Structure formats: C-alpha cells, structure tokens
Amino acid sequence: MTTTQAPTTSVLQPAGSRRRVIFWRHGRTSWNAARRFQGQSDIPLDDVGVLQAARAASLLAGKLGGPGQMAAVRIISSDLSRARDTARALSALTGTPVTEDRRLRETFGGSWEGKTFEDIERGDPALIKLWQLDEPGVRAGGGETRVEVAERMVAAVLDAAATVPEGGTLVVATHGGATRVAMAKLLGLPEELWRVLSGLSNCHWSVLEQSPPSLAGAREWHWRLTEHNVGTLPEPYELPEDLAEPVED
C-alpha cells in the first residue's frame, strides 16, 4: 500500500490568461488587541503583528511560486504603516517592490476612531447598529460610508490589476473592513448582501480570480472568489472579527 505525503506548499494553480487578486489584511496592532476602531489612524504593528506578517509572508511567497514566476507578481499597499509594513515583509522575500495607494486605506471613522466598540455602542448605539448591518448610507462616526470605501478600493484594485500581465497576481495589502466591501462589490453582490462575506482575521487573505465572459452571453470579464480568510492552517482557526471582535481597522 502506498501513502501520499501532504504538500508543504500551496502554489496557485496555473491561471492561463486570468489574473488573480490576493486581498491580504495586515498584522495585529495594539488597537486591534484593545478592540478599538482604528479607521485611518496610523497605528503600527505590535510585536505579535510583526510575527504574523513574517509568517504570512513566507506562506504567500511559497504560494506565489518560484523566482521565475515573480515577474508576474505585483504588490500594492495602503499607505498606512500597519499595511505597508505587512507588505514589505512579502517584498523582502520576493524582491517585488511595494507601491502605495492611499485609496486602499481603511474606512475613515470620524469621531469613532480610537474608541473601543463598547464605548461606541454606549455613546452611539443606533448608528453603530446600522453600520454593522451595512446600511449603505451610514457614515462611520460621521466619516465614510461602506459604499464610498468600496468604490475607492475597487478603483485602486482595477487600476493596478490592469498593469498585471495575463496569468499574473496582484497582492493587495490592506485592511479588514475595506477588503470585505471591495470584494463584495467586485463579485457583484447587491449592497443588502454584503454581510454574507465574513471579515478577515489578521494577516489572512482571500483570492479573487478574473474569469472570461461565459458562453451564456456575458460580455465582460467578471470575478469569482476562490479562497477566503486563509492563513493559519495548520494552526487553530481564528474567528473572523466581524463575528468575534468587531474592530474596523
């Protein structure tokens, strides 16, 4: 009887002419640990976050393939330090430079930034409930709406994806809340269904693949979700924060 040994790496399958986008959430910060609404406040990685970024970068580097395949990889990042430093951990392993884009920032949270979710729920219970239900016109602490965040995120991703060669991969180092709504918009989900996507745990990623028009009559390329909230296996699974600790980062 023969046995099959599990692979030590998980390399992306050949994509042909299709492009992929890997949305990668940054490592942990002290505000994540304290359950504070970070928004666009520039909070750096804490010691745990630095270790998370290093480990996730090694997994992603292996997933992207060997040195000969890195020419088809591009890395872009939010200009906030927690995302930028996470992206640089991958850049150091792959030799691929990081391009920053402020459109990849997290939601601007206005008066909520820096407050714990417990404080926000006590001081602004009606608005935070609507926000957590993804009501499209609700402004986080007087800041941005989910729809505004999704629009700028998608514009940044599509601009960068257009520069990636066919069959290449775009890695987007960004934030949890911004990633969720950007993916929902790219996938064509109506706003009332955006909540069907969970958030990402720190340093986890999701993969979207660009698919050609179908034979059923579609005229444009579209996107499909092939992996979601991946990153810790074989370590214990971490509950996504929108189900456990609702931190907008």
Q: Which residues are catalytic?
A: 26, 106
- What phi and psi values does residue 202 have, to the nearest 5 degrees? -55, 130
Query: From CA 249, how far away is CA 80, in angstroms rounded?
Result: 11
- CA–CA dist 43, 131 (Å, integer): 22
The rounded distance, in Å, linking the Cα atoms of 92 and 9 is 19
Distant-in-sequence, close-in-space partners of 208: CB < 8 Å, separation ≥ 6:
20, 21, 23, 183, 186, 187, 223, 224, 225, 226
Nearest to 160 by CA among 151, 149, 150, 169: 169
What's the gap between Cα 107 and its chain centre?
Answer: 13
Handedness of CA 39, 44, 47, 48 (dihedral sign): positive
What whole-number distance in Å separates Cα of residue 46 and Cα of residue 27? 8
